[in-house]
Amino acid sequence: MSKRSESLTPDSLPPLAELPGVSYIMPVLNEQEHIAKAITTILAQEYDGDKEIVIALGPSTDDTNRIVADMATRDPRIKTVDNPEAATPIGLNLAVAQTTQPVIIRVDAHSGLAPDYTRQGVTVLSETRAANCGGLMHARGKTAFQKAVARAYMSPVGLGGPAYHSGDEAQDSESAYLGVYRREVFDHLGGFDEGLRRGQDWELNLRIRGAGGRIRFDPRLQVSYWPRAHWSNIAKQFWATGIWRAELIRRYGSKNSIRYFAPPVLVLGMTASLIEALLQLGGQTKRWPRFLRRFTSLVHVPSFAYIAAIIATAGKAKDCGRRERFWFGLVLPTMHLCWGAGFLKGLVTGAGTTTDGSR
C-alpha cells in the first residue's frame, strides 16, 4: 500500500463536474438478510450522474453471493470482485481498484442510504472542497432487542463522541461514517491499511488530514444502519472493536481521542470493586487497619455510580416497551465492558489476527 504524502488540501483539489460519476464500494460476508435491500437503496438513489456498484465478495456460507450474482445479471451496473480472505480493508481496496468514477462512496451491507444521500454527498464535496465527507448514522431495529441496540448506538451514553452517532451541525470532523471520497484520496494515499481489520476508516482519515485534506460531517447525509440482532454477536463485535482500537492507540498514540480510554477505565474500576468485595467476603480485610478498609471501600463508588447511571438511562427511555427498555439496560454495559476488556487485551498483546466473530 502506497503512503505518499501528496497534498489533498482544498485548494489543490480540482473542481468536480456538475454531476460526477459515482462508484459505490461494499465488502460483504454472510449478509443474506440485508444485502438485497442495501443494493436496492443504492440503485434507487435520486442522482442523475453515472453510477456503478463494486461488491467485494467474501467466502460467505449463506446465500449472499448467489443473491448478489442474481442481481448482477439483471443490472450491468453491479460488478463483483472476489475477496477470499474476507478482510474488510482488503475487500475495500480490491473494490476501489475496479472503480472508474471520480467519487467513491463506501457502503455497508447493514446500511441503507437515504434517497438523496449521493446528491447531498456530492454537493458537500463540491461546496467545501473536502476530500471525504459523511453524515448521520441512523441506527434502526426490528425486534425489541435490535431496537434497544439501535437506541444504544444513538445515545450519548452509548457510543457518544462522534457527531455521526448523535447528530450535530455541519462541521469539519476527525473521521466520517462510511465516507463519500474524492478519487484523489486513493490516488494519493494508496487506499485502506490492509493490516487493520477494524478502524481502517479512521486510519485513512488520519492520513487524509495529514495530507492537508478536509473531512466534513453534514447531517443532511443520512444512513440507516441495522445492528447485530443477537446479544452474543453484539458482545463479539464490541470485543473485536476494542482490541483494534487499542491497536490504533499502540500505533498512533496521542492522535486518538481521550474518550477511547473511558471503557477500559470502567473495566479496571469494576474489576477492582469485585476483587475488594471478594476479599471482604473471605474475611481477608479484617486484619487491615480501619483507615485502609475505609479507603479501599471507596473503590465501589464508581461502580455503583455507573450501575445507577445505566438504570436511570434505561428508566428514562419512556418511548418504548418494557422489553426494549430491559434490553437497552443490558446492551449498554455489554457494549462498554466488552469494548473496554477488548481494549485492555489489545493494548497488552496487540490485535494480531483478531477478527470480528459476530458475522
Alpha carbons 301 and 224: distance in angstroms, whole number: 38
- Last residue of some domain: 194, 229, 264? 229
Rg of the chain over Cα atoms, rounded to whole angstroms, equals 22
Angle at 163 between CA 161 and CA 167, to 5 degrees: 125
* pLDDT under 70: residue ranges of the chain: 1-6, 160-167
Q: Which residue has the cell 456530492?
A: 122
Domain-embedded: residue 83:
yes
Residue 212 sits in the same domain as residue 288:
no
Total domains in the chain come to 2
Residue 109 sits in the same domain as residue 158:
yes
Query: What is the tens place of the pLDDT at every residue in 131-165?
Result: 999 999 888 999 999 999 999 988 878 776 555 55
pLDDT of residue 335: 95
pLDDT of residue 162: 56
Cell for 334? 455489554
Q: What's at 46, amino acid-wise?
A: E
Residue 222 sits in the same domain as residue 301:
no
Query: What is the tens place of the pLDDT at every residue in 100-121?
Result: 999 999 999 988 899 999 999 9
pLDDT of residue 160: 61
CA 320, 240, 183, 67 torsion: positive or negative?
negative
| CA distances, 127 to each of 123, 130, 134 (Å) | 6, 8, 14
Alpha carbons 101 and 104: distance in angstroms, whole number: 7
Q: Which residue has the cell 465478495?
A: 57
Report phi then psi at 260, rounded to 5: -70, -15
pLDDT of residue 2: 42
The distance of Cα 304 from the centroid of its chain, to the nearest Å, equals: 29
Residue 344 sits in the same domain as residue 215:
no
Report phi then psi at 40, rounded to 5: -60, -40
Q: Looking at the DSSP assignment, which residues form a beta bridge with residue 105? A: 24, 180
Residue 171 structural domain: 10-229
Residue 314 sits in the same domain as residue 207:
no
| CA distances, 20 to each of 89, 98, 224 (Å) | 25, 17, 24
Residue 274 sits in the same domain as residue 134:
no
pLDDT of residue 4: 45
pLDDT of residue 163: 56
Alpha carbons 13 and 8: distance in angstroms, whole number: 6
What is the model's pTM?
A: 0.86
Residue 222 sits in the same domain as residue 280:
no
- Last residue of some domain: 197, 229, 261? 229
Residue 61 sits in the same domain as residue 164:
yes
Residue 101 sits in the same domain as residue 225:
yes
Alpha carbons 354 and 238: distance in angstroms, whole number: 12
Report phi then psi at 114, rounded to 5: -60, 150
Cβ(296)–Cβ(285) below 8 Å? yes
Residue 116 sits in the same domain as residue 214:
yes
Domain-embedded: residue 14:
yes
